[in-house]
């Protein structure tokens, strides 16, 4: 019966270990990917957008390291808890053995120094003689066995306690590492905010940024042109839904579509989309059914996911914190495809949203319905 109980437990522990190892492998692959991108970004030192991108990559690497540490902490905590249970079981077993020895010693004590002799003298038959003999031998054997069991239990308990302390020490180190990485992450986020503040305060930096954003806007159009497919089955034509599309994110528009003038620097920018600051949920929902044709980082726009619809329409969702869909996946109207974030954003957490037809940007506010 014990064996039957142990097998499922062992299988569950093996499955848990395998799952943990798989997650660690996935995290390690993600770390290597981010490090490769960071190394590539360092080759271009003259771009403000690239500097922002580098800070975001470092922050992403810090987040991944925090997640990795959290996973290791959970594993260490599990080991500590298992060792604590093992320690408690050993202590209970030792107490049980000690109680048995005490009972045996009480019996032998009550028999007195001549107790053995009395047992053999006060007999009426050979059967009783052997019964008394077996009783004495059994008592002595039990005492020796229980004492041996106590000694073995104490040795094992000391080993388990050492392993438990090692686990607690590892857990403490991981907690310190996590705290350090969280502090570094906050520092990187502040560095990005400081850089954006400098850009907004200095005319030459702001002018450079506008030129870079214009170049990246052209790159975005080229990316979209290359990714556009001939047709997508079951896709929704946005044309008949002008003015009635559901908002991709409930929020406040903080940057509108079209040509905008900067009062501070007397410069102009052309916005091909709008920026929406979330007011409740960060979930980004697709405004119409279609197919994901792009999921990647684009300087100035951050993490961008593009959806192709029918009627040669496309929608773009930028500044994403994470993608919930992959390239090639079909999505239905209202389906959550990503989470709003700060990647590539100059406004903090936001969603950059574009609608295009035949690569031509359209004013999203003319296509979206009421919130």
pLDDT digits (tens, 9 = 90+) for 92-144: 887 887 777 677 666 666 655 545 555 444 545 445 545 555 555 565 666 66
Long-range contacts, 335-340 (Cβ 8 Å, 24+): 335/285, 335/286, 336/283, 336/284, 336/285, 337/284, 337/285, 337/286, 337/292, 337/305, 337/307, 338/284, 338/303, 338/305, 339/282, 339/283, 339/284, 340/249, 340/276, 340/278, 340/282, 340/283, 340/284
90/84 Cα distance (integer angstroms): 10
pLDDT value of residue 124: 53
Half-sphere exposure of 191 (CA within 13 A, CB side): 15
pLDDT value of residue 129: 47
**Per-residue pLDDT at 228 exceeds 80:** no
354/332 Cα distance (integer angstroms): 18
93/164 Cα distance (integer angstroms): 18
Split at pLDDT 50, 70, 90, the class of 343 is: very high
- Could you give the residue ranges of the DSSP H alpha helices within the chain? 2-41, 48-111, 115-121, 126-201, 203-227, 364-367
Q: Are 309 and 315 in contact (CB under 8 A)?
A: yes
Domain segments of the chain: what residues? 2-200, 231-367
267/214 Cα distance (integer angstroms): 13
| Partners of 320 in beta bridges | 303, 340
Q: Which residue has the tokens 């009627």?
A: 311
Split at pLDDT 50, 70, 90, the class of 371 is: confident
281 C-beta neighbours (distance < 10 Å), count: 13
**Architecture in CATH of 2-200:** Orthogonal Bundle (1.10)
195/205 Cα distance (integer angstroms): 10
Split at pLDDT 50, 70, 90, the class of 357 is: very high
pLDDT value of residue 265: 66
CATH T-level topology, domain 231-367:
Glucose Permease (Domain IIA) (2.70.70)
pLDDT value of residue 135: 55
pLDDT digits (tens, 9 = 90+) for 273-311: 999 999 989 999 999 999 999 999 998 899 999 999 998
**Per-residue pLDDT at 1 exceeds 70:** no
Stated pTM of the model:
0.72
**Per-residue pLDDT at 3 exceeds 50:** no
| Partners of 304 in beta bridges | 296
Closest Cα partner for 192 from 328, 312, 55, 76? 55
């Amino acid at each position: 019966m014990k064996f039957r109980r142990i097998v499922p437990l062992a299988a569950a522990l093996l499955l848990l270990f395998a799952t943990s190892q798989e997650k660690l492998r996935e995290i390690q692959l993600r770390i290597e990917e981010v490090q490769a991108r960071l190394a590539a970004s360092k080759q271009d030192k003259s771009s403000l957008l690239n500097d922002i991108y580098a800070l975001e990559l470092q922050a992403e690497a810090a987040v991944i390291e925090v997640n990795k540490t959290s996973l290791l902490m959970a594993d260490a905590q599990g080991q500590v808890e298992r060792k604590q249970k093992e320690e408690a079981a050993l202590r209970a077993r030792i107490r049980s053995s000690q109680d048995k020895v005490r009972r045996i010693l009480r019996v032998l004590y009550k028999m007195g120094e001549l107790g053995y002799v009395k047992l053999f003298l006060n007999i009426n038959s050979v059967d009783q003689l052997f019964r008394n003999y077996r009783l004495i031998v059994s008592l002595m054997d039990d005492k020796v066995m229980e004492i041996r069991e106590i000694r073995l239990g104490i040795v094992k308990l000391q080993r388990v306690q050492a392993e438990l302390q090692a686990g607690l020490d590892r857990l403490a180190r991981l907690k310190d590492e996590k705290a350090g990485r969280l502090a570094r992450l906050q520092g990187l986020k502040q560095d990005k905010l400081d850089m954006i503040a400098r850009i907004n305060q200095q005319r030459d930096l702001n002018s450079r940024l506008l030129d870079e954003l214009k170049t990246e806007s052209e790159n975005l159009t080229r990316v979209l042109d290359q990714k556009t497919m001939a047709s997508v089955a079951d896709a929704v034509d946005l044309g008949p839904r002008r003015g009635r599309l559901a908002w991709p994110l409930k929020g406040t528009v903080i940057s509108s579509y079209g040509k905008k003038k900067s009062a501070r620097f007397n410069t102009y920018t052309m916005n091909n989309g709008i920026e929406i600051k979330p007011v409740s949920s960060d979930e980004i929902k697709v405004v119409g059914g279609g197919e994901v044709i792009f999921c990647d980082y684009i300087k100035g726009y951050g993490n961008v996911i593009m959806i192709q619809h029918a009627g040669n329409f496309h929608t773009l969702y930028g500044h994403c914190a994470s993608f919930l869909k992959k390239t090639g996946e079909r999505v239905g109207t209202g389906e959550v495809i990503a989470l709003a974030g700060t990647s590539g954003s100059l406004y903090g957490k936001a969603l950059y949203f574009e609608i295009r037809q035949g690569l031509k940007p359209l004013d999203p506010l003319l296509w979206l319905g009421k919130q």
